[in-house]
Structure 1
Amino acid sequence: MGYLKPHEIAAATVETGVKKATQLNRSALILGFVAGAFIALGYLLYIRVIANTPAEWGSITTFIGASVFPVGLILVLIAGGELLTGNMMAVPLARMQRQITTSRMIKNICLITISNFAGAIFVAYFFGHIVGLTETGPYLAKTISIAEHKIDDSFLQAFVSGIGCNWLVALAVWLSYGAKDLSGKILGIWFPTMAFVAIGFQHVVANMFVIPAAIFAGGDITWLDYLQNFVPVFLGNLVGGSIFVAGIYKLAYLNKADEAVKSK
Structure 2
Amino acid sequence: MDNAFNTPAQVLDANMKAGEAKAKLPILKCILLGIMAGAFIAFGGASSNAAVHNIANQGLSKTLAGCIFPVGLMMIVFVGGELFTGDCLMIAGVADKKFSALSMIKTLVIVFFSNMVGAVLIAALVYFSGLLDYTDGALGAFTIKVAYGKATITPFKAICSGILCNILVCMAVLMATAAKDIAGKVWAIFFPICAFVIGGWEHCVANMFYIPAGIMAGMNDTYVAKAEELYGITADQIAANLNIGGFVSNLIPVTIGNILGGMVFVALPLYAIHRSKIVNKTK
TM-score of the aligned structures, taking structure 2 as reference length: 0.87
Contact 2:9-2:278 at 8 Å conserved across structures: no
- 2:93 corresponds in structure 1 to 94
1:204-215 equivalences under 5 Å are 204-215=204-215
Where do 5+ consecutive residues of structure 1 fail to align?
none
TM-superposed deviation, 1:223: 0.5
TM-superposed deviation, 1:135: 5.1
1:32-181 equivalences under 5 Å are 32-53=34-55, 55=56, 57-89=57-89, 91-127=90-126, 129-134=127-132, 136=134, 137-181=137-181
- 2:195 corresponds in structure 1 to 195
SS at match of 2:132: coil
- The one-letter amino acid paired with 1:73 is L
SS at match of 1:10: helix
> Matched residues in 2 for 1:259 and 1:105: separation?
21
Residue-by-residue CA offset, 1:91-148 (whole Å, 9 max, x unaligned): 1111111100111001000110011000000000112x21122355111111111111
- 1:26 corresponds in structure 2 to 28
TM-superposed deviation, 1:149: 1.1
Contact 1:31-1:82 at 8 Å conserved across structures: yes
Aligned residues: 254
More deviation, 185-194/133-142: 133-142
SS at match of 2:99: coil
> Matched residues in 2 for 1:8 and 1:58: separation?
39
> Matched residues in 1 for 2:78 and 2:15: separation?
15
Where do 5+ consecutive residues of structure 2 fail to align?
219-237
- Rg larger in structure: 2
Report the RMSD for the aligned CA atoms in angstroms: 1.3
> Matched residues in 1 for 2:21 and 2:177: separation?
14
- 2:227 corresponds in structure 1 to none
Contact 2:13-2:278 at 8 Å conserved across structures: no
More deviation, 197-206/17-26: 17-26
Q: Percent identity?
A: 34
Residue-by-residue CA offset, 1:150-175 (whole Å, 9 max, x unaligned): 12211110001000000000000010
> Matched residues in 1 for 2:183 and 2:34: separation?
24
Contact 1:2-1:181 at 8 Å conserved across structures: no
SS at match of 2:131: coil
Change (3 A) 1:259 1:115: closer
> Matched residues in 2 for 1:259 and 1:119: separation?
36
> Matched residues in 2 for 1:230 and 1:16: separation?
26
- 1:10 corresponds in structure 2 to 12
TM-score of the aligned structures, taking structure 1 as reference length: 0.93
TM-superposed deviation, 1:259: 5.7
TM-superposed deviation, 1:7: 1.0
